[in-house]
């Protein structure tokens, strides 16, 4: 059986990769196919996350053994087959490629092709330029760049910075009940 995955990025609008890989391949083989398809180096910590339909992370599959706690299941890429954790079309995964900033790709199992096998993964669609693999914090500081806090930063397009009092939240300490705290400790 062959899995066809579609990979997108929330950083680059026209970025898409499609990878077909055998269902009996390991997550490590899938990781290597992704790295190759985007031209990244294979020297960073990465993880896959199996997600629910709302992209909430459920199970983590790590590149290296991370946890020695025997009470919890530990999934390592080289030891875990795709078919161990993925079985339904539309299954969602997140692939974190930059641990420092939690930058990631969003992956969906687009199709399960039965009656076929693949010896190695194949990138069947390549569109757009992949985002940079890592953020260079020194370069960011040298250019004086900062994160753009646009009107959607606070999670509401109708948010207006002018709604806040310029001096703060306009709390009158005298209006607070006397028994809520000791005024002399201020």
Total-model pTM: 0.72
Instruction: Give the whole-angstrom CA distance, residue 65 versus residue 160.
Output: 46
Residue 53 lies in a domain: yes
Strand, helix or coil for residue 111? strand
User: For 117-126, 134-143, 162-171, which range has the lowest pLDDT when averaged over its residues?
Assistant: 162-171
Q: Which long-range contacts (CB under 8 A, 24 or more apart) does 63-67 make?
A: 63/28, 63/31
Instruction: Give the whole-angstrom CA distance, residue 92 versus residue 107.
Output: 6
Structural domain total, the chain: 1
Task: Kindly calculate the radius of gyration of the chain based on its CA atoms and give it in whole angstroms.
Answer: 23
What is the structure's pLDDT at 16? 97
Task: Please write the tens of the pLDDT for every residue from 40-99.
Answer: 999 999 999 999 999 999 999 998 887 666 556 789 999 999 999 998 999 999 999 998
CB within 8 A of 90, min separation 6: which ones?
A: 53, 108, 109
What is the structure's pLDDT at 73? 72
Residue 143 lies in a domain: no
Task: Please write the tens of the pLDDT for every residue from 176-185.
Answer: 444 444 445 4
State which of 23-27, 63-67, 153-157, 177-181 shows the largest mean pLDDT: 23-27
* Band of pLDDT at residue 143, cut at 50, 70 and 90: low
What is the structure's pLDDT at 135? 80
User: For 75-79, 133-137, 157-161, which range has the lowest pLDDT when averaged over its residues?
Assistant: 157-161
Residue 30 lies in a domain: yes
Domain boundaries, position 91: 2-132
Whether 134 has a pLDDT exceeding 60, the answer reads yes
Residue 113 lies in a domain: yes
Whether 168 has a pLDDT exceeding 80, the answer reads no
CATH number at residue 109: 3.10.290.30
What is the structure's pLDDT at 7? 97
What is the structure's pLDDT at 81? 97
Per the prediction, the chain carries an average pLDDT of 82
Strand, helix or coil for residue 174? helix
Instruction: Give the whole-angstrom CA distance, residue 9 versus residue 17.
Output: 10
Neighbours of 76 (CB within 10 A): 16
- Rounded to an integer, the average pLDDT of 12-28 is 96
In the β-sheet with 75-76, what is the strand arrangement from edge to edge? Answer: 75-76, 57-62, 47-51, 92-98, 103-113, 2-9, 16-22, 122-127
User: For 35-39, 104-108, 126-130, 171-175, which range has the lowest pLDDT when averaged over its residues?
Assistant: 171-175
Assess contact for 86 and 59: CB atoms under 8 A.
no
Neighbours of 12 (CB within 10 A): 14
Residue 179 lies in a domain: no
Instruction: Give the whole-angstrom CA distance, residue 142 versus residue 122.
Output: 39
Residue 104 lies in a domain: yes
Torsions phi, psi for 7 (to 5 deg) = -120, 130
Residue 44 lies in a domain: yes
Assess contact for 121 and 84: CB atoms under 8 A.
no
Per DSSP, the chain holds a count of helices (H) and strands (E) of: 3, 8
């Amino acid at each position: 059986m062959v899995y066809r995955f579609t990979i997108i990025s929330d950083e680059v609008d026209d970025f898409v990769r499609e990878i077909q890989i055998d269902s009996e391949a390991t997550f490590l083989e899938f990781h290597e196919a992704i790295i190759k398809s985007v031209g990244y180096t294979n020297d960073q910590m990465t993880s896959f996350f199996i997600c629910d339909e709302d992209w909430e992370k459920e199970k983590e599959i790590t590149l290296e053994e991370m946890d020695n706690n025997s009470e919890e299941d530990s999934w390592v890429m080289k030891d875990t087959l795709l078919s161990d954790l993925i079985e339904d079309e539309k299954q969602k995964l997140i692939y974190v490629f930059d641990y420092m900033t939690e930058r990631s790709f969003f992956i969906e199992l687009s199709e399960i092709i039965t009656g076929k096998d693949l010896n190695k993964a194949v990138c069947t669609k390549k569109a757009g330029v992949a985002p940079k693999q890592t953020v260079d914090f020194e370069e960011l500081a040298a250019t004086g760049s900062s994160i753009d806090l646009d009107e959607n930063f606070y999670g509401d397009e109708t948010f207006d910075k002018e709604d806040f009092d310029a001096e703060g939240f306009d709390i009158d300490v005298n209006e607070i009940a006397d028994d809520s705290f000791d005024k002399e400790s201020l």
